[in-house]
Amino acid sequence: MSPKIRVGIVGGAGYTAGELLRILLFHPYVSITHIQSSSNNGAKITSVHKDLIGETEAIFSDIEMDHVDLLFLCMGHGRSKAYVEETTIPQRVKIIDLSHDYRLKKEGNDFIYGLPELNKDLIVQAQHIANPGCFATGIQLALLPLAKAQLIKDDVHIQAITGSTGAGQAPSRTSHYSWRNNNLSVYKAFSHQHLGEINQSIQQLQSDFKNKIHFIPLRGNHTRGIFVSAYTSYEGTLEEAKEIYSNYYNDHPFVHVVDENPDLKQVVNTNKAILYLEVHDGKLMIISCTDNLLKGASGQAVQNMNLMYHLDEFTGLHLKPSVF
């Protein structure tokens, strides 16, 4: 058996770090050496992630780079870039960043966009990965097969609802229980920050795509999961669409194209993505279901780690859905 991957987690107190811990504590090829949290240094991990009582006695501590092979950056947007620029990170240390900081390709940015269903071959060879956004993951999985087939010929209309964990652990008015419960609201209509990476990926596969992606995000009153419904003009049959999607995802084990209209609980607590298609009057509707904290964040980050270290993609990710 190969030596275990020595992992450090920066920003260890948030939701995505907690999900990483729940996966990596039981990953057969990982040893978690350091979990850093500037606000919890010296405290037990279980003082923050209370569901891990009995699973770990680790404490929050500073990262010692000599004892790390891979860094997961689980900080807020803007903070990852600052950390990388201010910290001496040896070239041999791989990085998977879960923030928005490195997702858009710019000069000097050597991070590979970490959507395995788009860039698997590049991820296998990568040193630095920019993990996709949660909304972006679900939306791109709904659209990539069409883009690959050069079939997005019109504007795309999307409505997607996310659970409260998508807003992060820091409390706010719109994540407070008494506001969120039995409530629903639109936010960042047509201007969500994930639109940049979505357009970037569509144009990677369909370079002539110049149409608009009209995206209406909603805050849901559930805790986790993203439910996307998208539609665009389409001239083919449902059977042809299913073939396009099934062929595209044939080598991507976490994505399932199904024949029955899905519900969100089928993917919650898993790294799965479920896609469902319907054709209506020259429109193709695509439903995409994912867990925002797993396939939309930490599960996908572990999937990327597995690819970077030439492990089976499923390693550590045989997770149980909660349907009740």
Residues 97 and 159 in one domain: no
- 281 Ramachandran zone, left/alpha/beta (phi>0; psi -120 to 50): left
Task: Specify the pTM.
Answer: 0.95
Catalytic residue among 21, 74, 134, 302: 134
- CATH number, domain at 261? 3.30.360.10
Residues 96 and 73 in one domain: yes
> Would you call 114 exposed, middle or buried from its count of C-beta atoms within 10 A (0-12, 13-18, 19+)?
buried
Give the single-character DSSP code of 159. Answer: E
The domain in which residue 30 lies consists of 5-131+297-308
Provide the domain count of the chain: 2
Residues 208 and 126 in one domain: no
Residues 261 and 157 in one domain: yes
Rounded to whole angstroms, the Cα distance separating 125 from 309 reads 9
In a structure prediction context, what are the per-residue pLDDT tens digits for the chain, which is 324 residues long? 568 999 999 999 999 999 999 999 999 999 999 999 988 999 999 999 999 999 999 999 999 999 999 999 999 888 999 999 999 999 999 999 999 999 999 888 999 999 999 999 999 999 999 999 999 999 999 999 999 999 999 999 999 999 987 655 566 666 666 777 889 999 999 998 899 999 999 999 999 999 999 999 999 999 899 999 999 999 999 999 999 999 999 999 999 999 999 999 999 999 999 999 999 999 999 999 999 999 999 999 999 999 999 999 999 999 988 887
Per the domain annotation, does 202 fall within a domain? yes
Contact status, residue 211 vs residue 158, Cβ threshold 8 Å? no
Residues 239 and 148 in one domain: yes
Residues 228 and 257 in one domain: yes
- CATH number, domain at 11? 3.40.50.720
The verdict on whether 134 is a catalytic residue reads yes
**Closest Cα partner for 287 from 146, 164, 141?**
141
